[in-house]
Chain A
Amino acid sequence: MEGFTWNIGDKIVNSRLIIGSALYPSPKIMVEAIQASRAEIVTVSLRRQAAGDKDGKEFWQIIKDLKINVLPNTAGCHTAKEAVTTAMMAREVFATNWIKLEVIGDQYNLQPDPFELVKATKALIKEGFEVFPYTTDDLVLATRLVDAGCNILMPWGSPIGSGKGLMNPYNLEAIRNRYPNINLIVDAGIGKPSDAVQALEIGYDGILLNSAIALANEPVIMATAFKNAVNAGVLAKQAGMMQKKELASPSTPTIGTPFWHND
C-alpha cells in the first residue's frame, strides 16, 4: 500500500515494522507470526556452532524461505572490537551490509555503551556498513552517531524485553525534531500495540520489536495486532492530528437543539 512505503537502508519496504526471530514457542509459530505481521525485515544473529549442529542451518533455511530482508545484530557484544568483528562475520554469512549495532554497557538494563557504540559505528561505516545503531534516547549521543555518518538511529523506548513502552516520549520527540530527515526507529521496550501507535504518531518512521509478539499468549494474533497498530500510526501521522484543547467543545451542532436553554 502506497502510504506505508518506507525507504530504509537503500531498500524500499511496505511495512514500518521490523520483527525479531527469537523467543517464539516454535519455528512454525515464528514463521506464521512473521508472515502475519507483514514485516519485510527480520532480525537475526550469530552464535558459536558445534560441527554437525543442524539447528543453525535449519533456522537460516526457514528465514531464507520467507524471502524478506535480514538485519543481523551484534547482540552480546560489550566492546567496539567485538561488535566490529561480529558485524564482519554477519556480513559474510548473511550477505548484507546492514547491521543492527548493539554494544551493551550495562548487564542489568542492557543499556548501550555510548562510547563504544560511537567507536564501532565509525569503524563500520568506514567498512561500508549501513549501521542501524541501538542507542538510548540521548540527543547528544544521537548527534554523535549522525556526525559519524548514520542515516538511521534506533533509540530505545525502554530496556530490551521490558515491555514498558515509551518511557520518555519527550526525549524521543527531541531526537525526531532535531533530525527530521534521519530514519528513526524505536527499538526495544515496545510491549503492546498502543506503544507502536504512539511511536509512529510522534513521527518515528518505524519500530523494531521481538518479545511483544513472541511472548504473547498467541503470537500470531499479536503479530496481526501490531500490523494494524503500525498501519494506524502511519495513517494517523499522515492525516495530521487535531490540536488538544483545554476546554470541551461540542461535536454535535447546537443550532436548533430542542429545549435549548437561553436563560
Chain B
Amino acid sequence: MMRRFVLVAALAVGPTSAAADQTTPVSVVHINDISVTPEQVEGVTPVANGVGALVLLGAGDTPAQIVPNLILSEGGRFTLSPQQAEQLSGRVGVMLPMHDGMPVITLSDIDTLDVDLTGNGVQDSVSFCLTGSSAQITAQSGTTGQELWGHSISLSYDVEATCD
C-alpha cells in the first residue's frame, strides 16, 4: 500500500485565473541530461518557449518537488544547472507554462498534482506511479473523473512498483 503524505505546496504564478478560457499546455519530462527535451503527450498541446514550472511528482521514498522559473526555448527545451541536473537525475515530471492566467498548482500528495488543465475553472488531477519498469502519468478530469490523457516512460531498470 502506498504511504500517504500530505504535502501542500501551492505555487501561485502570476495572476491566477481559475476560469481561463484555454487549456493548459503540458509536456512530460524525463531528466537524462543537463539539456532536457520534453516529450509530447498525444492529444495535448505541448509547452512552448517562455517560462515554465517543472513539477516532479513523487513515488515511494522519492519526494515531490517543484522547480519554477525555468527558461524554455523552442519546443519547450530547457537547461538545468549542473547541480540541478545531478539532484534531479532520472526523475520524471510534467512541465507547465508560467504566464499570465496560469492556475494555481497544488501538490495534494507526493504523487498527485491538482491543476486546471481544461480551462473550465475546476481543478483536474495529474497522478504519477511506477509499474515494474516504467513511470506512468495520468491526467483525470476534475469534473467527470474520466481520464484526459496518459503517458508512459520506460525507465530501463526495474523499480519497486507503486501503481495499484
Q: Do A and B bind each other?
A: no
